[in-house]
Amino acid sequence: RKSLLSGIDLQCYENNHSHRTEEMDMVRLLVRRGQPFSVVLQCTDHIPRLPDHQLNLILHLGKNNEVVLKVSDSQQDHGKWWFSQCNAQGEVMLTLHSPADAPVGLYSMTVVLLSADGQILEQTKSQTFYLLFNPWCKDDSVYLPSEELLQEYILNENGILYQGSWDDITTVPWNFGQFEKDVVDICFEVLDNSPAALKNSEMDIANRGSPVYVSRTITAMVNANDDRGVVSGRWDGEYSDGVAPTRWTGSVPILRRWSEGGGQKVRYGQCWVFTGVACTVLRCLGIPTRCITNYSSAHDTDANISVDYYFNDQLESVSEGRKDSIWNYHCWVESWMKRDDLPEGYDGWQVLDPTPQERSDGVFCCGPCPVNAVKEGEVGLKYDTPFVFSEVNADLVVWIVHPDGERIQVSQNSKVIGRNISTKSVYGDFTEDITANYKYPEGSMKEREVYKKAGRQVGQKNEGPGQLELFIKHAPAIHGTDFDVIIEVYNAGREDTDAQLIVTSNAITYNSIHRGECQRKTTSLTVPAHKAHKEVLRLQYDHYGACVSEHHMIRVTALLQPTDQDNIILQEINIPLKMPALHIKIIEKAIVSRKLTAHISFTNPLPVSLQGGVFTVEGAGLTEAKEIKTHGKIEPGQAVTVKFSFKPTRAGLRKLLVDFDSDILRDVKGEATVIVRTKMQNRNVGLH
């Protein structure tokens, strides 16, 4: 008997287009669950009619095909795979229907021809396809009913991560690149390397239908603290055996480096790097995801919902050991999903924090934690809600430690932590403030109720302004220049008041590690009633230049102690030094596969010369990451221009991101937006 089946045409072009995966690949099949797709079975002859013959479809899932699924040819079994068929001339079109809760992953598919009595007559060579989450399908637990939001949270390969400080927000462009070549394979490789998958892959596969399980696994796997995770975190400024966290401009080089190194951790990341990588993986898998920055984020090391600062009698910091700290900002992601594992009311955005801070169930991961549970103070709901609640709601408490060890609480402030929680708007390159999703208005009755419910003491001590008030302002702070910081002490009372004022400036990292004190000034003053005293601190590059961190951030701390009372007023301001921008010029029209040249220029803003200058360039659909080294010194005020040529690979609106790094100046960024056309489109432009 001659064979009847000659092969399967997966119709990648048509299927990928209708499943919105055509950006990922056109030569492999990538489909989303809960949405049908069709393949064509090619035959050498007409298949003899039933009842003598029957077609069956077999799917395998898992590294070693451990999970086998027989696909039925009727729709009776609700919630199971099934297929329908339509016979054509010498071909059969098979339409496969996957359940909306099917495990995501790499499937292999075989078509089997059976005789009337169930004997296997022949079968096709197996073909593979990826099945992803489907936020366009209303039965999928990641369903998001807004095309505008999906354009951003699934399909946008470029984004913005927010840094700086709450009152001076700075932006870092990031290349997610979730549809770049082979990224989807690496995302599943990350899942396959999780401890649960290595321990029991059948159970892991069964759980991969759940976005709660998959997203929690990803937050644990993005950091390399416990497992074969992707990125190793480091905050101490010593990055010479890897890549400094500030140098990355996107996730793809990190994921590729991890995969090519056989699962060796990539050095080094900090919170925005973990966040960018997690966002790439989750968007790629089909879970709507956005990057969040929480300003003045509490890093509360003993879970008492307060951040405690300790000072001695001389007002020097004596917070030993693992001290509570307030990070200028902290980044995490939110992913959109139903929470069938929780009581009603907690679907929607979930916090997932891939930065290794605290262990959860024994591993460094955090989430998914419903944003709504944080807002309502429901700290008993999983996962990790008390930790997230504290990051956005802790009190700042200041203590004086006397020589005999006695501690006295001198102030408590509930307004400084968790400010301007920000994400990129879906309507363009600007921020959307989402603080109201996380908390009720400051000082409202509802806020008090939530605090009570979360077991947080509602502090009354020194909440209102006392007699003396303290304000800090500063002139424009441009990296490399000298600038003034003005500290104003205002006396709202009726009597003249004596006080001691101590002002220090410190070079800090974004997560409050002190890299060096720049200046300290102590003044005894008398502030007349209803008047203000102004103190000026001049910050000089000669002082801060030597110790400023790669985050180019100065923290000015002012402590005011009235002479006659055990009371301290603390004010802190974080000043991100303004960085120069890189200028990028692209002159020609951008056309797929045609060479394009970018001219990148940089001017040294510092009064000292730079060495080891290197530019890094990348962009989804434009070019993979490339380095361009500069030679010799770059003198103060000197301009450097480099040329970079590349061939765009995909049409559409694309961004080229550039970073400049050197021995003294790091984290200088630039970007250029280009519209890439196909050769066909280019011919049609300007004909009308």
DSSP string, 417-472: SSEEEEEE-TTSSSEEE-HHHH-PPTT-HHHHHHHHHTT-----TT-S--SEEEEE
The reply to whether 72 and 110 lie within a common domain is yes
Higher-confidence residue: 322 or 354?
Answer: 354
Please check whether residue 34 lies inside any domain of the structure.
yes
d(CA 309, CA 323): 8
The reply to whether 480 and 622 lie within a common domain is no
Mean pLDDT within 655-670 = 95
Pick from 277, 270, 230: nearest CA to 355: 270
pLDDT band at 51 (very low <50, low <70, confident <90, very high): low
Return the top range by mean pLDDT from 72-86, 191-205, 455-469.
191-205
Residue 48: per-residue pLDDT = 60
Return the top range by mean pLDDT from 27-41, 218-232, 524-538.
27-41
The reply to whether 99 and 161 lie within a common domain is no
Identify the active-site residue in 353, 384, 659, 661: 353
User: Where a domain ends, among 576, 602, 629?
Assistant: 576
Please check whether residue 190 lies inside any domain of the structure.
yes
Please check whether residue 566 lies inside any domain of the structure.
yes
Residue 464: per-residue pLDDT = 45
CATH number for the domain that contains residue 331: 3.90.260.10
| Residue 306: count of CB within 10 angstroms of its CB | 22
Please check whether residue 462 lies inside any domain of the structure.
no
Return the top range by mean pLDDT from 211-225, 273-287, 362-376, 447-461.
273-287
Per cent of the chain over pLDDT 70 is 93
Please check whether residue 193 lies inside any domain of the structure.
yes
358 is in an annotated binding site: no
Identify the active-site residue in 12, 43, 271, 366: 271
pLDDT digits (tens, 9 = 90+) for 529-548: 889 999 999 999 998 998 88
Mean pLDDT within 235-249 = 91
Pick from 252, 244, 248, 253: nearest CA to 280: 252
Cβ atoms 192, 64 nearer than 8 A: no
The reply to whether 127 and 195 lie within a common domain is no
pLDDT digits (tens, 9 = 90+) for 401-410: 888 888 888 8
The reply to whether 19 and 77 lie within a common domain is yes
Q: Is 330 a catalytic residue?
A: yes
Which range of residues forms the domain containing residue 21?
5-132
Q: Give whole-number Cα distances, 483 to 70, 475, 544, 605, in Å.
A: 72, 6, 11, 15
User: Where a domain ends, among 103, 132, 161?
Assistant: 132
The rounded mean pLDDT for the chain is 89
pLDDT exceeds 80 at position 394: yes
CATH number for the domain that contains residue 10: 2.60.40.10
Cβ neighbours for 406, distance < 8 A, ≥ 6 positions apart: none
The reply to whether 225 and 209 lie within a common domain is yes
Q: Is 353 a catalytic residue?
A: yes
442 is in an annotated binding site: yes
The reply to whether 606 and 563 lie within a common domain is no
Please check whether residue 233 lies inside any domain of the structure.
yes
The reply to whether 507 and 652 lie within a common domain is no
The reply to whether 335 and 448 lie within a common domain is yes
Residue 43: per-residue pLDDT = 86
The reply to whether 92 and 225 lie within a common domain is no
The reply to whether 123 and 203 lie within a common domain is no
pLDDT digits (tens, 9 = 90+) for 354-377: 987 665 555 667 889 999 999 999
The reply to whether 483 and 609 lie within a common domain is no
User: Where a domain ends, among 132, 166, 192?
Assistant: 132
Please check whether residue 138 lies inside any domain of the structure.
no
Identify the active-site residue in 330, 479, 543, 552: 330
User: Which H or E run contains 370?
Assistant: strand 369-370
Domain count, the chain: 4
pLDDT digits (tens, 9 = 90+) for 624-661: 999 999 999 999 999 999 999 999 999 999 999 999 99
393 is in an annotated binding site: yes
pLDDT exceeds 90 at position 351: yes
Please check whether residue 256 lies inside any domain of the structure.
yes
Q: What is the pTM of this model?
A: 0.92
Q: Is 661 a catalytic residue?
A: no
Pick from 195, 175, 177, 196: nearest CA to 186: 177
pLDDT band at 119 (very low <50, low <70, confident <90, very high): confident
Query: Mean pLDDT lowest for which of 250-264, 356-370, 605-619?
Result: 356-370
pLDDT exceeds 80 at position 282: yes
pLDDT digits (tens, 9 = 90+) for 57-114: 999 998 777 788 888 887 776 788 999 988 888 889 999 999 999 999 999 999 998 8
